[in-house]
Amino acid sequence: MTVLEDVSDLIKRIAPAAICDDCIADRLGLSVRQHANHKTRELSATKGFNRNKDICSVCSKEKLVIQFA
């Protein structure tokens, strides 16, 4: 599994809840937050994934989150 697939899977698993890059990095044990950021940006161009400023379902902070719908 690639990191992109891991990130994609995680987002689909928690759908329709939204999750931020920090929580994705945390859940997947990614060492660099920037890594998650890069992947979610890549995924946001994929059909079904939406990246918006909203409340993260995990940390409850308002930030850039990604969601699969």
Contact positions vs Zn ion (CB under 5 A): 20, 23, 56, 58-59
Closest contact distance (angstroms) between CB of 20 and Zn ion is 3
Q: Which residues pair with 20 in a beta bridge?
A: 65
* Nearer to Zn ion (CB atom), residue 4 or residue 17: 17
Q: How many residues does the chain have?
A: 69
How far lies 57's CA from each of 2, 10, 21, 28, in Å? Answer: 24, 13, 12, 16
**Under a CB-based contact definition with an 8 Å cutoff, are residues 23 and 67 in contact?**
no
* Nearer to Zn ion (CB atom), residue 10 or residue 23: 23
Closest contact distance (angstroms) between CB of 35 and Zn ion is 15
* Nearer to Zn ion (CB atom), residue 15 or residue 58: 58
